[in-house]
Amino acid sequence: MKIAISVSDKEKTKGSESPYYKALLAVGVKPEEVEVVSPSHPSIPNIKGYDGVLFTGGKDINPKYYEEAVKYPGLFQIDAKRDAFEFELFDRAHRHRLPILGICRGIQMINVKFGGTLYQDLNSEAPVEREHMQSAPRPEPTHVVTLTDPESRLAETFKGSCRVNSLHRQAIKRLGRGLKVTAHSEDGLVEAVESADAYPFLIAVQWHPEEMVDQPEPRKLFEKFVAKCRELAAQPR
């Protein structure tokens, strides 16, 4: 089995210190079963060498991809190379029906890839009532997300609701075609999406479970993802 973790070039320098890398190892993945990939790769990785892809947090998606201009230049941070790299990597992973897990920027990228849009700045554009860029330590849960689809894969991970951390300034505005919402925050923001069709495994969440992997629900999310990756790896291809 081999899982690709897609990160920025800067995040890649952390190597085994990356919280995403540590989260996979915490649920039984061996170091040799993980490869951290980033835009500095000379080309998009050969997707046939992987059994799953984890798309991680990071800078804002360029709004040109959802046909908007940058509304808040002072707030925006864009990594153009990463945008292009991850859109192509997602295309290849999705086409080959690999298990996909998206976290924070990951859920936003996936939604835009499916034709959706984002709130460019929650405090300016959305009727939020909670602090979504928490001042508390990253592993500390600060608000509740509620399951909205009892038949979803996320329902296998937690029942009804759970407390999560919150470290984002943007969020899904219009849902992309081909996705379904599976969890909301107390103030109505989309907190989780999944594929609306019979895709093997595509879950993306707005919070950061890699920072909370010592807790049952976040840990189970990674366990489910890894189990699907191992299942694919065991199949003849």
Selected catalytic residue, list 210, 211, 217, 229: 210
Residues 112-150 as b or e (16 or more Cβ within 10 Å = b)? bbbebbbbbbbeeebebeeebebeeeeeebbbbbebbee
The span from the CA of 148 to the CA of 179, in Å, is 14
Q: Which of 191, 208, 211, 217 is an active site residue? A: 208
| Residue 229 annotated among the catalytic residues of the structure | no
Verify whether residue 94 is a known catalytic residue.
no
Q: Which of 86, 104, 132, 194 is the catalytic position?
A: 104
Residue 33 vs residues 49, 50, 123: alpha-carbon distances, Å: 11, 9, 40
For the question of residue 208 being annotated catalytic, the response is yes
Q: Which residues contact 30 (CB under 8 A, 6 or more apart)?
A: none
Active site residues: 104, 208, 210
